[in-house]
Amino acid sequence: MKKNIKYLAILALGFVACEPEFDNPIDEAGVYASGEADFSNYVALGNSLTAGFADGALYITGQENSYPNILSQQFALAGGGEFTQPLMDDNLGGANLGGTQILSNRFVLEANIVDQTLPDGSVVKDTIFAPRPLVGTPTTEISNNLGSSFNNMGIPGAKSYHLGAPRYGNVAGLPDAANPYFVRFASSTETTVIADAVAQNPTFFSLWIGNNDILGYATSGGVGVDHNETGEMNPENYGGDDITNSLTFDSTYRQLIAALTANGAKGVVLNLPDVASLPFFTTVPFAPLSPLDASFGPQIPILNATYAGLNQAFAFLGVPERSIQFSATSASAVVIRDESLADISAQLTQVLTPSFGPLATILGAQFGQARQATDADLLVLTSSGVIGQLNNDRLAELISLGLTQEQAGQFSVHGVTWPLEDQYVLIPEEQAAVENARVAFNASIQSVAVANGLAFYDVASDLTQAANGGIPYDGGVITSDFVTGGVFSLDGVHPTPRAHALVTNGIIDAIENTYGAVLPSVNPGEYGTITLSNEVN
Amino acid sequence: MKKLLLLVLFALVTLVTYAGGYRVSVQGQRAMAMGHTGVAVVNSAELVFFNPAGLVYLENKLNISAGASGIFTDVIYQNSDLGISSETDSSVGTPLNFYGSYKVNDWLALGLGVYTPYGSEVTWPTDWAGSHLVNNIELAAIYIQPVVSIKLSEHLSIGGGPIFVTGSVNFNRNANRTLTDIDGNRSNITVDDSGVNNWGWSVSAMFNPTDNFRLGFSYRSEIILEAEGGEATFSNFPNSPVVPSNGTTTFDAELPLPAELTVGLSYQFHKKWLVAFDYNRQFWDVYESLDIQFGNGSTSLNPRNYKNSSVYRFGLQYEATSKISLRAGYYIDESPVQSGFFAPETPRNDSQGFSGGLSFAITPKLAIDASFFYLRFEEVNESYDFYQENGQNIPFRGTYKSSAFAPGLGLTYKL
């Protein structure tokens, strides 16, 4: 018996020796380090980028692939704690308020294989891709407060000053004075985002805010007001599409950082990318009108004949540069309304009256600030849905002014005879307003980072690189091209999971450099880009 | 006490062998205990596998050996650049073997063997970092072989016979690194087939220059398992005409079971002591690529590019008493996997095996055979470089470490 026990002991020894173990297992202390930072309670502040908003909506898998969530998984190997997020209820992304849908479903990429007839008569299969809203009824109810705060405090739509705005999470303030995403987890009707963040007593924070302080203006084609021009400092007087005054941004940002660092927390801040690096502004060309287009091409001669009369009037009035002409051989620029031009409606009406009769008043008003777009203009992504389409409001208006249905139709085509409105075009003056504000905001962000010894990630440079040549990864090159590039989701503004992975790596580098931390990076190739589905509306 | 010491010595000195690729060298409890040597050892009906020519030299008219081993394997993976780590689900394989021989007359013996020389079972956590290469795989091949053994003289015999193989496979992996359905579930493919049959053969010879010295030679032919019309299941693909549809389709694939050449010797240097040496050459170069053609038009090409590999085996037997024999062995097992082709479905590098075991004769006719082996692998930094996305090779790198431990039990009956 004694002998048997000894044999058993030998056998047991064999079993124990059988478990493989690495010389330097990564889950043991000493491989990664937090340096001077403490990742045990990481809170992320920001807007849609921080929340993981993508494809025009906030949905679970987007949240799971948000840069703060990816970062927290890396932190977990260097003392990081649990990271919670206010997950939506589904992957549709829309949401309801009181049972009525107030937020749209996400976009997915629809693919359709169609027969295409070549000039020689042969038929080939062609695949047509298009972003479309995913079909389905959202299950997230905004008014169901989740009852606690979360490590990810990214609030889609938030501007810098919203983070400190009381009642921003008050359901009664919807839709204008409150934010539906914050309503879901605000700790009280009176609280602010920053108060709920600070109350969690973070040991480490990230802050990426300010994008919407310029983006609202930019994505709306500059219909809002630039408060660097008006000098208005009080955000309570700002509209949603306005540019925040740079001094307002600066003081707001300093207050946010002061609140976050009050308990000695370390953190990382990110600057704001150039809007010209976003496919939302670079996808629709300024000259999209092709003579090969079946509805536009045949109209070119009559359009040019009509515009010839207008062009003579422009020349007569000393503004020949406003001439409009369409090429029969190459793509032409759209006609836009440039609100920075002197309005010559009255003079134009006067000059046109002899040849156009009663129509002259209408033409004068329609083309008083019109010109053809140039490569200096940025057409927003949403313009692609209207260019070449009939503007039905204008059509009805013209008919009511006494034009025949046919005449009215001829003068109501978006971008061809009805100049594209302000909301579809970011003209150079508007771009300058956006860029000037961005440069000022970024100067504030960087100086605050330096002054507080915070890690700073120049994400703007990386996104500019993505838009100009791309960034290599193990599966090729990731670029800013819409749909195919890999950086941007189907809304043309928000990043894909793969881009969130790139941002995570940039943040990690900054944290390592500033705090002496040692963290593993992530492989962007393991993160997806856009989602295919034909379950669309 | 002395015996115990000896056993401890065996246990410590004997780390055991498994072989590279998906060869599983556990074809007999007695041989296993001696480092899986046996081409020149005349000991039991295990010779059906190791060297059929030797059967005719067995003393008894009827010999039966049957046994099973439980193989506990673990593979761990990590990539410290990316902070990722994984571990296979400790799988337990149970290779079985059954051998019988009957001596018809002084110069002729017939035998039958059923054994499982090839197989693999690796289960990684679903959707782990290498899930685009494998989530889990289970391969099995059962060899059924009648043999004949003919004595040409007291010094020389020959043997061999046809082999019938029936194989099965179940293999799941993700479609690529990122494709998911709308809810983020990874798109994946399972191939499953069983009853994949084919034929092969083996020949062998044994030469006994003196009473206590034997030389052996054995060759087992290559057998290609051709799965045709197996079942492939596509799951969690998004609803889109540009990716495969969910559901089942067929698949065709080929998996080679390579040829193996063994030469070896045994020498009884004392009436109670026997030493054996085997050299195996495994002709893995037949495994160039695992190509799967699906019924829905998709294909999956997976270069393997294995190289021929060798195993060096040493065994020792000590007849402690008339009832107890103690055995120990050691072997060096070269992996057929070349650098850059290290796929996590067969994550094995070179290894050293340590084995031990004993036989206990319950009666003069019936003995219990116990064996164990432990396979020791160095940790290795390796990659599989031939996975492609958009025509671009994307390496999957990391540090791997494996181990295998297998206790086995068998019975030997002779009449």
pLDDT at B5: 46
Please return the burial class of A3, using the count of CB atoms within 10 Å of its CB with bins 0-12, 13-18 and 19+: exposed
- Whether B374 sits inside 8 A of A18 (CB atoms) is yes
pLDDT at B93: 75
Mean pLDDT of B80-88: 94
- Whether B83 sits inside 8 A of A32 (CB atoms) is yes
- Whether B178 sits inside 8 A of A528 (CB atoms) is yes
Any idea what DSSP says for residue A463?
Answer: H
- CA angle at residue A267 from A69 to A500, to 5 degrees? 30
Nearest chain B residue to A127, by CA:
B242
pLDDT at B89: 84
SS3 call for A73: helix
ipTM of the assembly? 0.89
pLDDT at A306: 87
Helix (H) or strand (E) segment spanning residue A407: helix A405-410
Closest C-alpha among A347, A352, A361, A334 to residue A419 = A334
Task: Chain B: give the shortest CA distance to residue A65, in Å.
Answer: 10
- Whether B241 sits inside 8 A of A15 (CB atoms) is no
pLDDT by residue (tens digit) across B180-194?
999 999 999 999 999
Nearest chain A residue to B78, by CA:
A26
pLDDT at A11: 55
Which residues in chain B touch residue A136, judged by CB atoms under 8 angstroms apart?
none
Bridge partners (DSSP) listed for residue B67 = B97, B410
Nearest chain A residue to B400, by CA:
A22
Instruction: Write the secondary structure of A325-339 as one string of H (helix), E (strand) and C (coil).
Output: CCCCCCCECCEEECC
What does the block give as tokens for B62?
A: 């009827």
**CB nearest A532 (choices: B4, B184, B243):** B243
The answer to whether the Cα torsion of A480, A485, A489, A491 is positive or negative is positive
Residue B23, pLDDT > 80, answer yes
pLDDT at A5: 55
- Whether B240 sits inside 8 A of A10 (CB atoms) is no
Which residues in chain A touch residue B238, judged by CB atoms under 8 angstroms apart?
531-533
Task: Chain B: give the shortest CA distance to residue A213, in Å.
Answer: 32
Higher pLDDT, B271 or A70: A70
pLDDT at A16: 52
- Whether B394 sits inside 8 A of A14 (CB atoms) is no
- Whether B76 sits inside 8 A of A520 (CB atoms) is no
pTM reported for the whole predicted model: 0.91
**CB nearest B392 (choices: A110, A113, A476):** A476
CA distance B248 to B235: 9
Interface of A with B in 448-487 (CB under 8 A): 474-476
Name which of B13, B132, B240, B386 to mutate to probe chain A: the one with the most chain A Cβ atoms within 10 A of its Cβ.
B240
pLDDT by residue (tens digit) across B243-261?
999 999 999 999 999 999 9
- Whether B241 sits inside 8 A of A534 (CB atoms) is yes
pLDDT by residue (tens digit) across B349-376?
899 999 999 999 999 999 999 999 998 8
Nearest chain B residue to A23, by CA:
B379
pLDDT along chain A (537 residues), means of 10: 54 61 86 96 98 98 98 96 97 94 96 87 90 96 95 98 96 93 96 97 98 96 94 95 97 98 97 94 94 89 90 92 93 94 92 84 90 95 92 90 86 93 94 97 98 98 95 94 95 97 98 97 96 93
User: A189 in contact with B at a CB cutoff of 8 Å?
Assistant: no
- Whether B239 sits inside 8 A of A3 (CB atoms) is no
What does the block give as tokens for A509?
A: 């580098």
Chains A & B: contacts with CB separation below 8 Å: 127
Higher pLDDT, B16 or B281: B281
Concatenated DSSP letters of A101-139: EEEPPPEEEEEEEEEEE-TTS-EEEEEEEEEEEBPS---
Residue B18, pLDDT > 60, answer no
CA distance A176 to B298: 52
Nearest chain B residue to A25, by CA:
B78
Q: Which residues contact B182 (CB under 8 A, 6 or more apart)?
A: A91, A108, A134, A531, A533, A535, B238, B239
The neighbour count for residue A176, using CB atoms within 10 Å, is 7
User: A139 in contact with B at a CB cutoff of 8 Å?
Assistant: no
> Tokens 């004769």, residue?
B361
Mean pLDDT of B219-242: 96
> Tokens 């031990």, residue?
B356
Which residues in chain B touch residue A498, judged by CB atoms under 8 angstroms apart?
178
- Whether A526 sits inside 8 A of B180 (CB atoms) is no
Residue B159, pLDDT > 50, answer yes
Task: Chain A: give the shortest CA distance to residue B353, in Å.
Answer: 12
What does the block give as tokens for B236?
A: 């969690």
Nearest chain A residue to B402, by CA:
A20
